[in-house]
Structure formats: C-alpha cells, structure tokens
Amino acid sequence: MYHQPVLKNRRTLLERAEKFISDIYFTDCNLRGRLYGDSCSLESIASFLSPKRITFSEASQQIFVPYKVGDTFGPTWWTCWFKVTLKIPETWRGKEVHLRWESDGEGMVWRDEQPVQGLTKEGEKTSYILSDCLKDDEPHSLSLYVEVACNGLFGAGQEIFIGAPDPNKKFSVQKAELVVFNRDVQELLTDFEMLIDIVKELGEGEQRGYQALFTVNEMVNLCDPSDPTTFSKARSLAHSFFSQRNGESQHTAHAMGHCHIDSAWLWPYEETIRKCGRSWVTVIRLMEKNPDFVFTCSQAQQFQWVKSWYPGLFLEIQQYVKKGQFIPVGGTWVEMDGNLPSGESMVRQFLEGQRFFNQEFGIYCKEFWLPDTFGYSAQLPQIMQGSGISNFLTQKLSWNLVNTFPHNTFFWEGLDGSKVLTHFPPGNSYEMKGKVEDLVKTVKNNKDKGRVNHSAVLFGFGDGGGGPTQLMLDRLHRVQDTDGLPRVQTSSPDTLFSQLQADSALLCTWTGELFLELHNGTYTTQAQIKCGNRQCETLLHDTEIVSSLAMSQNRTFQYPVERLQKLWRLLLLNQFHDVIPGSCIELVVEDALRYYEDIRSDGAALLQDALKVLGSKGDNAGVFNSLPWERHEVIQVQDGAGKPGLALVNVPSIGLSLVKDTSPVAPVSVTVQGDGTVVMENGILKAVVNTDGTLASLCLINANRETISDGCNGNQFVIFDDVPLYWDAWDVMDYHLQTRKPVLEVVQPVHVVSSDPLRGRVSFTLRISDKSIITQEIVMDAMCPYIKFNTEVKWAESHKFLKVEFPVRVHSPNATYEIQFGHLQRPTHRNTSWDWARFEVWGHKWADLSEHNFGVALLNDCKYGYSVHKNTMTLSLLRAPKAPDANADMGTHHVTYAIMPHAGSFQEASVIQCAYNLNFPLRSIQCASDTQPWSAFSVSAAAVILETIKQAEDRNRALVVRLYESHGSHVTATLRTTLPVREAWHCDLLERPDPTRPAHITSEGIALNFSPFQIVSLLLIL
C-alpha cells in the first residue's frame, strides 16, 4: 500500500514529517496551519483592575471600562477582570467553537457566576470550548468573565524563574476571539506527533522506530492539508501502527493525571487558592469528556480552600471522588517538608489530613504522597503505618547530586523496623506530559528491571498548577498497547500499589532515612521561619497539656478544640515543602511569620486560660513543668516588689509546685583572670572563656575530662562563602567548606554581666564584617550540666554562611542526631561518596558525638543544620541567599545553643531530656498558698518519653497520650497518672482505638512494652 519505495535517508524523512506539523515553519501549507478555521472577533471586552484578589460577586459589581487587545495591565499580583460578550455566527452550525484566549498571567473563565475553565498559555490551555458541535438551540450570544491573575504559573521572577519577583511586571491579552476548531486536524496532528516521537525516542537501534518512520512518511504522502477527506486514510495508517500489540511481558505504565500545586512558593498562599480553583475546575471539564480519566490530588488544606472559596466546584469534586475519578491522595494536611517538622507535627499532618478526607469524602488515603520534598525522615514509615498508610510515592531522590539511588520500587524500612512499599516513578517526574519520551524513560530508567513490571506515570503541568490537558489524554490513549512502548493503563494509586504488592517477592529493602543529596541549605535558610516552627510546636505542646489537665481537674473547663485546631492547621500549613525549608519568596515569608504570630498570641492566651484553671486561681508564684520528668532548674522570678531575681526550683514531672528556692549543691562562680580570660564553674563544669568569647577549656569536673580538643577553641564562629550552582535558597555546595574563615574581630571583649550563686553570665561582641555583628551571652546555671550561649546576630551579608564550631576531644566514626521520635547515626568521615555527600545534615534539638564512656552534645532551641566532621561539631546558624527572596535572613536573629559534655552514653547522661529542657521553659503559674507539689503523669523508664497529651478527637472527657522509646532499646515502662482514668486503650495515630488491645491499669499505673523507637498512643477515658 505504500507509495514509491523510499530511498531518502532517516533524517530527511523524519524532518519532513516534523515540518508537516510544525507551528513555526510552513504553516501556510502544512497540517498545523489548518488547526483553526474561521474566526471572528468578540462583541465587546471590558476590564476592571483590582489590587486585591476579590470574589466573583464582588468583581461583577464593579465598573468595567472598554479594553483593547494588546493594552497592558498590572502590576504583578494584581488581578484584571474581563467582561466578554460574544456572538457565535449562525453559519458555524455543526462546528466546534472555541473562545481562544491568549494572555499573560493565569486566567479563569466564569460563566453563570461559576468558575468553568482555567486558561494559561504556559499550561497549554488557551481555549474555552463553547460548543463541541454547534446546534441551533444552543445559546449563540452570551457574556463571560475572565479573571486574570497578574502572575504566571511560576510567579513573576526577575531574569531567572527563581529570581525574586519583579513587582512591576506588565501583562496583556494577545488574542481574544471566537474560532472554529478543527478537531479532525488535531487528532491527526496527535497521530503524527506520537509517531515522530517514537522514531526519535526508539533511535536508530530499534527496527520499530523505522516502522514508525515509514508509516509517518506515508501519512504525509497520503494527507492533503487542504482536503480533509484525505485525513482518514492517514489516520487509519497511524491506527494500524498503534494497534500492533505488545507481547505479554511488556512493562505496564499506570497513567494518572496529577497537578502538583505548591501551597506557596514563588507566589503567596492566597494565589494558591486560585491556582487550585483554576486547575481543578479544568480537571472536572476533562472528566466530563473523558470518563476514564483519573486524577490524583493531594493536600487536605487545598481541598479546604476550594471548599471555602469555590463551594460549587467542591460539590462537583465530591461527585467525581465518588465515581473514583478524582482521587484524594497523601493523607496529610499539606505536602510537608520531610525533615524539619517534629514527630508530633508529622503525626498531626496525617491526623488533620486523614480526618479531613474521611469527613469530606468518606475515605482514608492508603498512600503517602510526597513527590517533591527535600529528604524523608527515617521515622516516616512508622508514622505512615500508624496513620493507616502502607504505601509511599515520591521521586525527589532522583535529584541526588552525588549518588544514584539504587531502586524505583522497594520496601522502605524505618527507624523502628516499620516497612512501607515505596515507589519512585522511574520517569523521575510528577509532571509528565503523556509523551513517548515519558513512557520510554519509565521503562529504561526502572532500576528494578526483572523485579517490577509496573510503574506510575503522573501527567499534568505541575508545581504552579495547571494539570493535565486533553492532548495528554489523547497521546496516552493512542498507545495503550503499542508494540515497542510500555502498555499504558489508566490507573489509580491503589491499583498500582496492589499490583506492586502482589509482585513484591523480589523487591529489595532500603533501611533508614532517604537523604536527599541536594538542597541541604534548606535546614538553615529563613531562620525566623524555623524559629517560629520550633517555638510554636513547643507552645502548642504545652497548651494542649495544660488544657488537658485543666479539663481533667475541672469539669467546667472547656477544652478549646476549635481554636487549637485552627492554630495547628496554621502551623502545619507553614510546614509546606517550600515554606519551612525557606525556599519561598518574601511575600510568603511575611505570611508565614504572621501565622506564627497568630499562633504565639492565641496560643499564649489559651495557655494562660488553662494555667489559671489549673492553678485554682491562687496568687502565689508557682511553676509548671510540661515535661515528663522532675526538673531542678534556675528560673527568673520576681520578688514582692516586682524586682527580678533568680530561684532554683524543683518541679515534679508534668506537674506544678510553688516557687520554693532551694540552695544549689555548688554555687556558680565567675572569675576574671589576669589575662582577661574568665573562668566559670558550677561544680559540674568548669569553662575558661577567652577574651574573644571562644572556649579555651571546658572541663567535666567529676570525670576529670577536658572537652575541647588540644590547641583548639570551642564556640568558634566561622563564616563561609556560600554561592551555590543555581538553587540559591536551597543549596549549599560541598566546595563552600574550602572557604572557611574564623570570625576574629573583637568589638567588645568578654566581660562579666552578672555573677550570682545561681547564674553566671559573661558577654562579648564580635564583628563579622562592616555589616554584621554577633553579641553573645554565655550563661552557666547552678546544677545545670550544659552551658548556654544566648546569641544575637545582626546579619546583613550576601551569599555567606555563618556557623559555630566545637572541636572536641572525642574520637568516633559516627555522630548521633535527634530526629522525629528518635535519633540516628551518620558518619563523621568521608570514606565513600555516600558519606561525603552528607557534608551538611539535619537534626532536631540535639546532636551528639560520643566515644566509650564520654561524649559531647550540642543542643539548640531553633536550628536544624549540623555537620560533624572528624571531631569538629558544627551548628549552622545563618545563610544569606538572594533568590527567590532577595532579603532572606537580613536583620536581627536570636538563637540559644548549648554544649554539654557528659560521662557515659548520651542516653545515660540524659542528653535527650536536657535538650527538651532547653526547648520547653518552665512556665509560671499562679497557685493557692497551700498548693502541694503535684504530678499528673510520670513514666518509670528514662528511655520512654511522654510527648503528647491532648483531648481525644470527637470525644469529651477522654485524652490521647503519646509516648515513644527514645534510647533505641526494648523496654518495659509504667505510665503513672494521678488523673481519674477509668479505661485505657491502645489506639493508632488517627486515635482509632484497637478493641483487641485494652491497656491494663493497675495500682502502679499502665504497664507498656516498647521496642526501639516505638511510638505508642493510648486513649484514656476519664
């Protein structure tokens, strides 16, 4: 059936076909030039410009002025509303009619007061279909609104897309008209495109590629663009090619529509709400036309936004969820950062997310979905399993700069041994386009060939939203079973994971964290956000505990369920994977800091309300301890005249007592020596502080051990050049380590601020540069096993990285870092590429370097970036990237860190407890004068930490308590309580009690067994 035997070479045939569908070349005579038929202009366009994002009903009340295509509007972040009236010509009967709209910015079409279609050039959506086949009884005249946001899919970056936004961008509409759309041309173009791509992707080594080449060449021969009657012959040739089927062993690509929408990134939270609206309404339009189309959609917060802002759209989404086409995934409130949120925050991500999905859609997600964050905590598998989830999808480790992760489908085993089935789509993307390239990559890149024959293909514009297009669906539809390409099956995460589970016998297991070898600056960038996160986690922890105790002690106290949920949701929102990592624009930082302020002020008010009830409204100074161990600490108090003073107090675990000053076993002494150095001593530690604030010596007195390495100084500030390759706010590169410079210029040498038997304080000031300065107070408290460094940095650098170092007399191949509900080890050497790729790592409240019987811990109250190389422990303090926030981290910062040498292991030395103490200050409470020391809860084993006490969801007079094993040991512990607990049940992290597992209450308390790093939740009925 072919024309003449083809003599020409591969290149000319291929390029001939490419030019036949080119949108640049030969459009006067090629097929692409025939895509649109007649056109006609709109009856009228008028516009109204708003600096704010307003609702449709507000916008439609405004006065609109005539708009001419090409006129500019703006600036960035404003919104231009267009009112469009149109009249479809009678002669277009039987034709497919589109409103063709090409403009800058992101658009949304409104019709009959409802959002109906998103429009973005970047997302390849420039048509709103008015009619598939115009009939007489369809409306020919109508008016629509188009809401155009003055920002692109990726915000409004200057020069590069991650550049700080240009606030003065101008926008315009380039095309606004009615056109006849030739669907038959589009279908044929798609045939051509797929065949051409098969030729290119299969390359010269595959004979199947040549079959595609000769097919496509013959199609050009057969097809006369000016004569639509010739199209069918070309189409049937393509169809025969696509219908040549695979053998049974072929790989299956599970195609799922997706639209990754960053909850805030290069645009503010408020714009994300509209991105969700635009993207998801477009998905619903596609579902109407394509009943097989399946779309996966994560982040409960975004659903909540759509429910509030687009209630009509939300109802449609609920219907398509029921049909199984619109599939909520992930189970979390937002797609959070995988490293920095605390253990309890991670639990709350799932608790808020899963409960929302259950309330709104009657489902619990079965898979965790986090394709785009910068590493994954080793505690996640246990938290997933506890939240009803045993499958996990991501792909970000494909971004590793140094090592190639060895699997695409595997079991991931967490810190406690929990396993989840994990899949990285081998196409290494969550925003594929349904192209041949995506399918070929999916098969070629699969690192588990022979073990796994199923993979996910997630298609749809993403990051800034957009989502799938009809063209992507059409592409995938053609090659469902085409020899040479994987089988393509419209699928759901559940189908994919069930298939993977069924064939999992040969799968490998990866144990421990999934560390991303890139973006390691995100542990430090935007210090105020990190600080807000840590402090608000602490505040909500305390507020929940005090409120729970107040409720259990006083029946009239109302646990503030709604207000606490609102604050938790704000905190969880800021844990989104471009907010807490600090990789967002300045507008987002402002929003995030405002949310932290809301949490701080509302949380503090709730805490005070509850403390008042708990203290029975007395007026004697008392102290409340929210941690599950007795504390003996120096606190600030006021005497009767309001004069500040100090007291050494003793407070029971999770309880309170009156302030009763006790004398220290050894008072603190601070002595200035002849050379200006200062000796500080408290009977546990003896420190020698140099005039420049560094530590010449730090001695653990009882063990007679020097902490600081010979010839070195501790507390040494160091500054590095910090110029990454591209991702400014994200990346710190290994080569920055070669630019280390100690901060040496002393502005004010060390001097004594106060010397009290309970607390000694010395201070000094250093200059980093003519723009930046450090002032630090070194604090030694009586009875305290660590020295605190209260640090203020005035920071105005550009592309610099500030850290503080402690070279210590410890030799060990591994350092230990606190993570969520536990800790893990990472190497201190650089033996292999896997070791040296971890030159900058994350941890939470502490890191420790120990050898047998001695070690040193570095504690902090708001930092996450660490490195321990050989015997030098380093805490990362501040960075100064310029994109996407040109002012990132400029200003004044406060951080407290502490150094704690110890005998024995860090477990035996209570490093974990000390780090909690540093982060959770004792709270003052007003008590009655006869108040006796009272403890609500205590735990018999030091290894077990009672982390959370809260009111149970949906239940009054019931508490949920969460404990975890923190030492990495099998242990039995008794949870003792003075609260009137009637029943106790084991429950999961979603607080669903396990009817088979009552917890036995004896006169001693509740006996519990723990395996290493196990999290245990109990439902206590009062």
Residue 609 binds to Zn ion (criterion: CB under 5 A): no
We find the least distance from the C-beta atom of residue 420 to Zn ion, in angstroms, to be 21
Contact 861, 921 (CB under 8 A): no
Which residue carries 């809860």 as its tokens? 937
We find the least distance from the C-beta atom of residue 463 to Zn ion, in angstroms, to be 6
Residues in contact with 293: Cβ distance below 8 Å, sequence separation at least 6, in sequence order:
257, 286, 287, 325, 468, 473, 490
Stretch that binds Zn ion, among 183-191, 364-372, 404-412, 453-461 (CB under 5 A): 364-372
Residue with smaller CB distance to Zn ion, 583 or 871? 583
Residue 337 binds to Zn ion (criterion: CB under 5 A): no
Residue with smaller CB distance to Zn ion, 434 or 581? 581
SS3 (DSSP) at 840: coil
Structure tokens at 431: 């925003």
Structure tokens at 726: 């591209």
In degrees and rounded to multiples of 5, residue 717 shows phi and psi of -75, 140
We find the least distance from the C-beta atom of residue 461 to Zn ion, in angstroms, to be 13
Backbone torsion region of residue 346, taken as left when φ is above 0, otherwise alpha when ψ lies between -120 and 50, otherwise beta: alpha
Stretch that binds Zn ion, among 42-50, 93-101, 115-123, 371-379 (CB under 5 A): 371-379
Residue with smaller CB distance to Zn ion, 107 or 465? 465
We find the least distance from the C-beta atom of residue 77 to Zn ion, in angstroms, to be 20
Residue with smaller CB distance to Zn ion, 372 or 728? 372
> Order of strands across the sheet with 923-927?
923-927, 620-625, 655-658, 934-935
794-812 burial code (b ≥16 CB/10 A, e <16): ebbbeebbbbbbbbbbbeb
Residues 246-285 that bind Zn ion (CB under 5 A): 262
Greatest Cα pair distance in the chain: 107
We find the least distance from the C-beta atom of residue 569 to Zn ion, in angstroms, to be 19
**Cα 537 from Cα 791, distance rounded (Å):** 21
How far is the first Cα of the chain from the last one, in angstroms, to the nearest whole number? 84
Residue with smaller CB distance to Zn ion, 262 or 367? 262
Residues in contact with 15: Cβ distance below 8 Å, sequence separation at least 6, in sequence order:
none
Stretch that binds Zn ion, among 43-51, 368-376, 532-540, 637-645 (CB under 5 A): 368-376
Bridge partners (DSSP) listed for residue 790: 777, 896
**Cα 528 from Cα 538, distance rounded (Å):** 15
**Cα 376 from Cα 337, distance rounded (Å):** 8
Structure tokens at 848: 């420790």
How many residues line the site for Zn ion (CB under 5 A)?
2
Residue with smaller CB distance to Zn ion, 210 or 399? 399
Contact 679, 686 (CB under 8 A): yes
Structure tokens at 591: 């929003």
Angle between the N-to-C axes of helices 343-361 and 561-574, in degrees from 0 to 180, rounded to the nearest 10: 110
Enumerate the active-site residues. Answer: 372
SS3 (DSSP) at 327: strand
Pairing of strands 814-819, 971-977: unpaired
Peptide bond into 884 cis (omega under 30): yes
We find the least distance from the C-beta atom of residue 260 to Zn ion, in angstroms, to be 6
Contact 809, 708 (CB under 8 A): yes
We find the least distance from the C-beta atom of residue 792 to Zn ion, in angstroms, to be 34
We find the least distance from the C-beta atom of residue 334 to Zn ion, in angstroms, to be 10
Contact 747, 717 (CB under 8 A): no
Residue with smaller CB distance to Zn ion, 260 or 823? 260
List Cα–Cα distances, 94 to 88, 182, 389, 486, in angstroms.
12, 11, 50, 38
Contact 128, 119 (CB under 8 A): yes
- Which is nearest to 712 in space by CA: 876, 871, 897? 871
- Which is nearest to 716 in space by CA: 743, 679, 749? 743
Could you give the residue ranges of the DSSP H alpha helices within 113-206? 183-202
Stretch that binds Zn ion, among 4-12, 372-380, 616-624, 745-753 (CB under 5 A): 372-380
Which residue carries 């899949």 as its tokens? 423
Residues in contact with 847: Cβ distance below 8 Å, sequence separation at least 6, in sequence order:
815, 816, 817, 818, 857, 858, 866, 868, 873, 875
Structure tokens at 98: 């589109």
Q: What is the dihedral of CA 852, 856, 858, 859, to 10 degrees?
A: 80
| DSSP tally for the chain: helices H, then strands E | 18, 55
Residue with smaller CB distance to Zn ion, 334 or 858? 334
In degrees and rounded to multiples of 5, residue 116 shows phi and psi of -125, -20
Nearest-CB residue for Zn ion: 372
Residue with smaller CB distance to Zn ion, 197 or 262? 262
Residue with smaller CB distance to Zn ion, 367 or 692? 367
We find the least distance from the C-beta atom of residue 462 to Zn ion, in angstroms, to be 8
We find the least distance from the C-beta atom of residue 394 to Zn ion, in angstroms, to be 11
Residues 855-894 that bind Zn ion (CB under 5 A): none
Pairing of strands 620-625, 872-879: unpaired
Residue with smaller CB distance to Zn ion, 465 or 693? 465
SS3 (DSSP) at 195: helix
Residue with smaller CB distance to Zn ion, 82 or 374? 374
We find the least distance from the C-beta atom of residue 287 to Zn ion, in angstroms, to be 24
- Which is nearest to 275 in space by CA: 63, 139, 108, 387? 108
We find the least distance from the C-beta atom of residue 368 to Zn ion, in angstroms, to be 15
Bridge partners (DSSP) listed for residue 278: none
We find the least distance from the C-beta atom of residue 286 to Zn ion, in angstroms, to be 22
Residue 372 binds to Zn ion (criterion: CB under 5 A): yes
Residue with smaller CB distance to Zn ion, 316 or 372? 372
Contacts to Zn ion by CB under 5 A:
262, 372
